[in-house]
Amino acid sequence: MTRTIAFLGATGGCAGACLIAALKEGYTCRALARTPSKLTTSLSTQGLSETLLANLEIIQGNAKDIDSIKSLLQTPTGIVDTIVFGVGAAPKLRLHIMPVTLDDIEVCRTAMATLLSALDDLKAATKPRLLVISTTGITNGPRDVPLLYVPLYHWFLHIPHVDKRVMEELVCAQRQKPAAERTVGEFTIVRPTLLMDGNGVGVAKVRYGLESNPALGRTIDRKDVGNWLFEKGVKPADLGEFKDQAVSLTA
Protein backbone atom coordinates (compact mmCIF):
# COMPACT_ATOMS: atom_id res chain seq x y z
CA MET A 1 0.00 0.00 0.00
CA THR A 2 1.33 3.43 -0.94
CA ARG A 3 2.32 5.55 2.02
CA THR A 4 0.83 9.00 2.45
CA ILE A 5 3.10 11.96 3.17
CA ALA A 6 1.95 15.27 4.70
CA PHE A 7 3.89 18.47 4.05
CA LEU A 8 3.93 21.70 6.04
CA GLY A 9 5.86 24.56 4.45
CA ALA A 10 5.90 22.96 0.99
CA THR A 11 6.14 26.35 -0.74
CA GLY A 12 9.65 26.60 0.74
CA GLY A 13 12.59 25.32 -1.25
CA CYS A 14 13.67 22.36 0.91
CA ALA A 15 10.26 20.88 1.69
CA GLY A 16 9.15 21.73 -1.84
CA ALA A 17 12.01 19.72 -3.33
CA CYS A 18 11.10 16.79 -1.08
CA LEU A 19 7.48 17.04 -2.23
CA ILE A 20 8.52 17.00 -5.90
CA ALA A 21 10.68 13.92 -5.32
CA ALA A 22 7.80 12.14 -3.58
CA LEU A 23 5.31 12.95 -6.34
CA LYS A 24 7.72 11.78 -9.04
CA GLU A 25 7.95 8.39 -7.31
CA GLY A 26 4.20 8.00 -7.02
CA TYR A 27 3.62 8.77 -3.35
CA THR A 28 0.26 10.08 -2.22
CA CYS A 29 0.92 13.55 -0.84
CA ARG A 30 -1.03 16.11 1.14
CA ALA A 31 0.16 19.68 1.64
CA LEU A 32 -1.08 22.55 3.76
CA ALA A 33 -0.95 25.95 2.08
CA ARG A 34 -2.41 29.34 2.86
CA THR A 35 -2.68 29.99 -0.89
CA PRO A 36 -3.04 26.68 -2.77
CA SER A 37 -2.66 28.33 -6.18
CA LYS A 38 0.83 29.52 -5.21
CA LEU A 39 1.92 25.95 -4.53
CA THR A 40 0.37 24.46 -7.68
CA THR A 41 1.90 27.21 -9.83
CA SER A 42 5.31 26.61 -8.27
CA LEU A 43 5.10 22.87 -8.91
CA SER A 44 3.87 23.31 -12.48
CA THR A 45 6.67 25.73 -13.34
CA GLN A 46 9.14 23.11 -12.10
CA GLY A 47 7.88 20.63 -14.65
CA LEU A 48 5.37 18.49 -12.76
CA SER A 49 2.67 17.14 -15.05
CA GLU A 50 -1.05 17.05 -14.34
CA THR A 51 -0.71 13.28 -13.93
CA LEU A 52 1.82 13.68 -11.11
CA LEU A 53 -0.12 16.52 -9.49
CA ALA A 54 -3.17 14.24 -9.33
CA ASN A 55 -1.44 12.49 -6.41
CA LEU A 56 -1.35 15.75 -4.42
CA GLU A 57 -4.19 17.09 -2.31
CA ILE A 58 -3.73 20.66 -1.09
CA ILE A 59 -5.55 21.70 2.06
CA GLN A 60 -6.04 25.42 2.45
CA GLY A 61 -5.13 26.56 5.93
CA ASN A 62 -2.57 27.89 8.36
CA ALA A 63 0.14 25.86 10.10
CA LYS A 64 -0.71 27.60 13.39
CA ASP A 65 -4.38 26.56 13.24
CA ILE A 66 -5.07 23.19 14.85
CA ASP A 67 -8.15 22.45 12.74
CA SER A 68 -6.14 23.04 9.57
CA ILE A 69 -3.46 20.66 10.82
CA LYS A 70 -6.01 17.98 11.68
CA SER A 71 -7.50 18.25 8.19
CA LEU A 72 -4.02 17.78 6.74
CA LEU A 73 -3.20 14.74 8.86
CA GLN A 74 -6.43 12.79 8.50
CA THR A 75 -6.96 10.45 5.56
CA PRO A 76 -9.92 8.22 4.61
CA THR A 77 -8.13 5.28 6.23
CA GLY A 78 -6.77 7.02 9.33
CA ILE A 79 -3.73 9.27 9.45
CA VAL A 80 -0.73 10.05 7.26
CA ASP A 81 2.37 7.86 7.52
CA THR A 82 5.03 10.59 7.44
CA ILE A 83 5.09 14.33 8.12
CA VAL A 84 7.63 16.65 6.51
CA PHE A 85 7.86 19.89 8.51
CA GLY A 86 9.47 22.78 6.63
CA VAL A 87 7.70 25.77 8.16
CA GLY A 88 9.65 29.02 8.19
CA ALA A 89 9.24 32.79 8.07
CA ALA A 90 10.47 35.48 5.73
CA PRO A 91 13.54 37.39 6.99
CA LYS A 92 13.39 41.14 7.59
CA LEU A 93 16.32 43.53 7.95
CA ARG A 94 16.26 46.35 10.49
CA LEU A 95 18.58 48.92 12.06
CA HIS A 96 19.33 47.08 15.28
CA ILE A 97 22.16 45.29 17.08
CA MET A 98 20.40 42.10 15.92
CA PRO A 99 19.81 43.15 12.30
CA VAL A 100 17.87 40.12 11.02
CA THR A 101 14.40 39.38 12.34
CA LEU A 102 11.39 37.55 10.90
CA ASP A 103 7.90 38.55 9.85
CA ASP A 104 6.77 36.04 12.51
CA ILE A 105 9.47 35.41 15.11
CA GLU A 106 7.71 32.41 16.68
CA VAL A 107 6.25 30.68 13.63
CA CYS A 108 8.37 27.51 13.84
CA ARG A 109 7.78 26.81 17.52
CA THR A 110 4.08 27.71 17.29
CA ALA A 111 3.47 25.54 14.23
CA MET A 112 5.34 22.61 15.79
CA ALA A 113 3.42 22.93 19.06
CA THR A 114 0.19 23.02 17.06
CA LEU A 115 1.19 19.92 15.10
CA LEU A 116 2.02 17.96 18.25
CA SER A 117 -1.23 19.05 19.89
CA ALA A 118 -3.19 17.96 16.83
CA LEU A 119 -1.52 14.54 16.90
CA ASP A 120 -2.29 14.20 20.61
CA ASP A 121 -5.94 15.00 19.94
CA LEU A 122 -6.23 12.53 17.05
CA LYS A 123 -4.76 9.67 19.09
CA ALA A 124 -3.91 7.65 16.00
CA ALA A 125 -3.22 3.94 16.44
CA THR A 126 -0.15 4.27 14.22
CA LYS A 127 2.08 7.23 15.03
CA PRO A 128 3.57 8.99 12.02
CA ARG A 129 7.23 9.55 11.30
CA LEU A 130 8.30 13.20 11.65
CA LEU A 131 10.99 14.81 9.47
CA VAL A 132 11.94 18.36 10.44
CA ILE A 133 13.98 20.93 8.51
CA SER A 134 15.98 23.12 10.89
CA THR A 135 19.42 24.77 10.63
CA THR A 136 23.03 24.44 11.69
CA GLY A 137 24.35 26.84 14.31
CA ILE A 138 22.07 25.75 17.16
CA THR A 139 23.69 22.46 18.11
CA ASN A 140 24.30 21.24 21.65
CA GLY A 141 27.30 19.27 20.39
CA PRO A 142 30.55 20.22 18.63
CA ARG A 143 30.55 23.28 16.36
CA ASP A 144 28.68 22.46 13.15
CA VAL A 145 29.50 25.55 11.06
CA PRO A 146 32.85 26.80 9.70
CA LEU A 147 34.68 29.07 12.13
CA LEU A 148 34.21 32.09 9.86
CA TYR A 149 30.43 31.58 10.04
CA VAL A 150 30.25 31.80 13.83
CA PRO A 151 29.80 35.61 14.02
CA LEU A 152 27.18 35.47 11.25
CA TYR A 153 25.21 32.71 12.90
CA HIS A 154 25.38 33.88 16.50
CA TRP A 155 24.88 37.58 15.88
CA PHE A 156 23.31 38.22 12.49
CA LEU A 157 20.93 35.25 12.64
CA HIS A 158 20.30 35.17 16.38
CA ILE A 159 16.54 35.81 16.30
CA PRO A 160 15.70 33.22 13.60
CA HIS A 161 17.81 30.67 15.43
CA VAL A 162 16.00 31.18 18.73
CA ASP A 163 12.78 30.06 17.06
CA LYS A 164 14.43 27.02 15.48
CA ARG A 165 16.01 26.01 18.79
CA VAL A 166 12.69 26.07 20.65
CA MET A 167 11.09 24.13 17.80
CA GLU A 168 13.79 21.46 18.08
CA GLU A 169 13.35 21.23 21.85
CA LEU A 170 9.66 20.42 21.36
CA VAL A 171 10.56 17.59 19.01
CA CYS A 172 13.48 16.23 21.04
CA ALA A 173 11.29 16.02 24.14
CA GLN A 174 9.83 12.92 22.47
CA ARG A 175 13.06 11.06 23.28
CA GLN A 176 12.28 11.12 26.99
CA LYS A 177 8.85 9.52 26.64
CA PRO A 178 8.02 5.81 26.66
CA ALA A 179 6.97 4.57 23.22
CA ALA A 180 3.32 4.34 24.26
CA GLU A 181 3.28 8.00 25.34
CA ARG A 182 5.05 9.49 22.33
CA THR A 183 3.13 11.78 20.01
CA VAL A 184 5.15 10.75 16.95
CA GLY A 185 6.85 7.52 15.99
CA GLU A 186 10.47 8.11 15.03
CA PHE A 187 11.84 11.50 14.01
CA THR A 188 14.81 13.08 12.28
CA ILE A 189 15.84 16.73 12.35
CA VAL A 190 17.95 17.85 9.40
CA ARG A 191 20.23 20.84 9.87
CA PRO A 192 21.43 22.17 6.52
CA THR A 193 24.22 24.70 6.43
CA LEU A 194 23.82 28.02 4.55
CA LEU A 195 21.09 27.45 1.95
CA MET A 196 21.48 28.30 -1.73
CA ASP A 197 19.22 28.10 -4.79
CA GLY A 198 21.15 25.94 -7.22
CA ASN A 199 20.73 22.68 -9.11
CA GLY A 200 22.46 20.68 -6.38
CA VAL A 201 25.29 18.17 -6.43
CA GLY A 202 23.10 15.10 -5.94
CA VAL A 203 22.25 13.09 -2.84
CA ALA A 204 25.29 10.83 -3.21
CA LYS A 205 27.61 13.83 -2.80
CA VAL A 206 25.83 15.42 0.16
CA ARG A 207 27.88 15.08 3.34
CA TYR A 208 26.13 14.48 6.64
CA GLY A 209 26.98 14.02 10.29
CA LEU A 210 25.14 13.31 13.51
CA GLU A 211 25.19 15.93 16.27
CA SER A 212 28.16 14.26 17.97
CA ASN A 213 30.25 14.41 14.78
CA PRO A 214 28.80 17.06 12.44
CA ALA A 215 29.70 17.59 8.80
CA LEU A 216 31.27 21.03 8.31
CA GLY A 217 30.71 22.92 5.08
CA ARG A 218 29.88 26.31 3.65
CA THR A 219 26.69 25.84 1.65
CA ILE A 220 24.11 23.40 0.36
CA ASP A 221 21.37 23.82 -2.24
CA ARG A 222 17.77 23.56 -1.12
CA LYS A 223 17.18 20.96 -3.83
CA ASP A 224 19.83 18.70 -2.29
CA VAL A 225 18.29 19.06 1.17
CA GLY A 226 14.84 18.07 -0.08
CA ASN A 227 16.14 15.16 -2.14
CA TRP A 228 18.32 13.90 0.73
CA LEU A 229 15.37 14.07 3.09
CA PHE A 230 13.26 12.08 0.64
CA GLU A 231 15.89 9.39 0.03
CA LYS A 232 17.03 9.02 3.65
CA GLY A 233 13.90 10.01 5.55
CA VAL A 234 10.78 9.28 3.51
CA LYS A 235 11.67 6.16 1.51
CA PRO A 236 13.32 3.82 4.06
CA ALA A 237 11.21 1.41 6.10
CA ASP A 238 12.92 2.82 9.21
CA LEU A 239 15.26 5.73 9.91
CA GLY A 240 18.18 3.56 11.00
CA GLU A 241 21.10 5.64 12.27
CA PHE A 242 19.04 8.81 11.86
CA LYS A 243 16.28 7.74 14.25
CA ASP A 244 15.59 10.47 16.83
CA GLN A 245 18.75 12.30 15.72
CA ALA A 246 19.73 15.75 14.45
CA VAL A 247 21.74 15.49 11.23
CA SER A 248 23.90 18.25 9.73
CA LEU A 249 23.94 18.49 5.92
CA THR A 250 26.41 20.20 3.59
CA ALA A 251 27.57 19.88 -0.01
CATH number at residue 85: 3.40.50.720
What digits encode the pLDDT tens for the residues 9-46?
998 799 999 999 999 999 999 999 999 999 999 999 99
Whole-angstrom Cα distance, residue 122 to residue 81? 14
Residue 112 near residue 105, CB atoms below 8 Å: no
Q: Which pLDDT does position 156 carry in this prediction?
A: 74
CA–chain centroid gap for 244, Å, is 14
Q: What is the domain range of residue 43?
A: 4-250
Instruction: Output the pTM of the full model.
Output: 0.95
Contacts (Cβ under 8 Å, ≥6 apart) of 209: 144, 215, 247, 248
Strands 78-79 and 74-75: antiparallel
Question: How many domains does the structure of the chain reveal?
Answer: 1
125 CB contacts (<8 Å, ≥6 apart)? 78
Cα–Cα distance, 5 to 83 (Å, whole number)? 6
